[in-house]
Chains A and B, each alone.
Chain A
Amino acid sequence: MPPVDQDVSGPTDAPLPAAVTERLESDDAGAADGTPVLTVSEVAVRFGGVAALSAVNLTAMAGAVTGLIGPNGAGKTTLFNVISGLQQPDGGRVLFGRTNLAGISPHRRARMGIARTFQRLELFGTLTAGENVQVGLESAVKWWQWRHVRSSFPWRRGPLSAGGESAAVEDPGGPGSLAVTTADRLLAGVGLAGTSRNQASAMPTGSARMVELARALAIGPKLLLLDEPGSGLDDSESEALGTLLTRLAASGMAILLVEHDMDLVMRICDTIHVLDFGEVIASGSPDEVRADPAVQAAYLGAGATPGSAGGPGPDRADQEGAGS
């Protein structure tokens, strides 16, 4: 039950804040010449004796929403952990544009332009919604520089002149400062206008997911990894999310979306990869994937159907996927 004065009317049509769009325009992920923003090549991960991922190959292009679906335990969150750097792969590589991400720590990957949300919300519960987004906006700021320290003290009054700083990420926040207004606008952009003073941990799930999304957008990503953003959302929230993601993709962002909500996935994805047993068993448009017998078998279970295209043969009995 959302609190009374929270506005969940949906995303506005206002242009996205500069913080979000400027990096998209800078194009160092090689989007212009057709290089995929993300290339996952033969990535493998093993936990003990179990292979969570065994040779995953997929790409995500700028300006498109790419879906990643598959039965539970197929390894989707593990893959996200590999791409965002929280998990080291046992084989294969991940390319961001033309850059190999091997050995690059998670926070540096974020600074390069890879943002993600988490299946289990990872919000900064103690902070307000606005502050959550601000942390993202400010992440590149070197706070020890004097100009930032100076602006934190109480004698600073009023908003900074609009023409002052070049981008929102330059300026740390105090009330009325540019970062705060940008955070407010980001929150409004995801449909949470007016909620920036609410404590994050007190917000209902749907709004909390949107705060996490706004925070991810705040770093101005080229690649957005979304891990089940629709879980916990009701129908109208889910629709608003779909519209927002489509708009973000249209402005040039590459979005890789893990979802179980088939309605959402089929509706907004341009390409869908289906993951099963730790590898991609099908890729294509929503219609193609839906009609693919291998995909159907994967979801329903290959069972006793002989020669079913989806299940691996007997000699792969020891190579099984595990829970993601």
Chain B
Amino acid sequence: MTESASQTVLTPAPPAVTIQGIRAGYGRIEVLHGVDLTVPAGSVFALLGPNGAGKSTLLKVVCGRVRPTAGQVLIGDKAIGKSSTESLVKEGLCSIPEGRGIFPNLTVTENLRIWTYRGGISAADVEQKTFDTFPRLNERRKQYAGTLSGGEQQMLAISRALVTEPKVLLLDELSMGLAPMIVSELYELVGQLARGGITVLLVEQFVTTALMVATGAAIMVHGAIEQQGTPEEMADAALSVYLSSGT
């Protein structure tokens, strides 16, 4: 892991994710009205904004679950075009969707076995890496994932990113419904992953949380990027966007 980190630092790399002019929606309603965004390689980029802004939809476009009606997405220097999610996963994309990326009716160890479908990693390795990082999961390995607490479920979900070592990691509302302590623990891990060379694009409602680890941020409102900049700049702008001072 350290080798790839030094490689990323020394060689100038193309941006990990480039989004150009994306328009997308569901059925007849357009949700994204022309989004432009560049995510530098090795960064942790936070996509902020109120509910309904289109943040999750944008992530779905990047991982191939929603087809854009205009614009293009590049991962590295390759346009994803009409690639299926499966092929993107094979090329190093890992997406952890909103609401726990786990199978509630399988036990913890069974969930971990499913992560090995990605290839290139053995069941023993998966378990060792996961339990080293999250000892709590070890205690609950035979428990059905649906009965874990919210934080533990999210730990299990993010273990997929931990063990499959993707190039790009998409996180959708990782902190949803979790207490701050668990959230900081999780995001610390995200920071670690980023330092190891993984580019992270995350969506967060909670500005302060996201900015704990973010190296860049943007605020989305009504399907387009409203402001973009450093985490500090975005923190200042956020409050007025969220709790509007409107009449």
Contact = CB atoms under 8 A, between A and B. Distances in A.
A205 B29 contact: yes
A317 B206 contact: no
Given A277-B177, A299-B206, A304 B243 contact: no
B147 A263 contact: no
B195 to A, nearest CB: 19
Interface stretch (B83-91, B158-166, B180-188): B180-188
Nearest to B152: A49
Contacts of B181: 314, 317
B212 interface: yes
Contact of B51 (A260, A300, A322): A260
A270 to B, nearest CB: 16
Interface in B174-209: 175-184, 204-209
Interface stretch (A70-78, A90-98, A151-159): A70-78
22 contacts: A48-B146, A72-B173, A73-B176, A262-B50, A262-B243, A290-B245, A296-B239, A299-B206, A299-B243, A301-B206, A301-B207, A301-B209, A301-B210, A303-B212, A317-B182, A318-B149, A320-B150, A320-B177, A320-B178, A321-B177, A322-B150, A323-B99
Contacts of A267: 246-247
Nearest to A278: B177
Given A50-B150, A320-B150, A300 B176 contact: no
Nearest to A311: B180
Contacts of B239: 296, 300
Minimum-distance CB pairs A-B, first 10: A301-B206, A303-B208, A301-B209, A73-B177, A320-B150, A321-B177, A73-B176, A260-B51, A301-B208, A49-B147
A314 B29 CA distance: 43
B14 interface: no
B246 A262 contact: yes
Contacts of B146: 48-49
Given A320-B150, A323-B99, A302 B29 contact: no
Nearest to B238: A300
A323 B179 contact: no
A71 B206 contact: yes
Nearest to A314: B181
B148 interface: yes
A243 interface: no
Chain B CB count within 10 A is highest, among A71, A205, A261, A305, for A71
Contacts of A317: 151, 179, 181-182
- What band does the interface of chain B fall in when counting residues whose beta carbon is under 8 Å from A? 35 or more
B27 to A, nearest CB: 10
B173 A303 contact: no
B204 A48 contact: no
B244 A72 contact: no
B52 interface: yes
A231 interface: yes
A199 to B, nearest CB: 15
Contacts of A261: 52
Chain B CB count within 10 A is highest, among A205, A263, A303, A321, for A303
Interface string A241-264: 000000000000000000011110
Given A50-B150, A303-B208, A318-B149, A263 B246 contact: yes
Contacts of A175: none
A316 B180 CA distance: 10
A266 B177 contact: no
Chain A CB count within 10 A is highest, among B51, B151, B175, B204, for B51
A302 B183 CA distance: 10
B242 interface: yes
B21 interface: no
A165 to B, nearest CB: 40
Chain B CB count within 10 A is highest, among A72, A266, A277, for A72
B35 to A, nearest CB: 19
B166 to A, nearest CB: 24
A207 B207 CA distance: 34
B179 A312 contact: yes
Interface string A275-311: 0010000000000001000011101111111001001
Given A48-B104, A50-B153, A72-B51, 17 more contacts: A48-B147, A72-B176, A72-B205, A263-B247, A266-B244, A290-B243, A299-B206, A299-B243, A301-B180, A302-B208, A303-B180, A303-B184, A308-B180, A317-B182, A319-B149, A320-B182, A321-B177
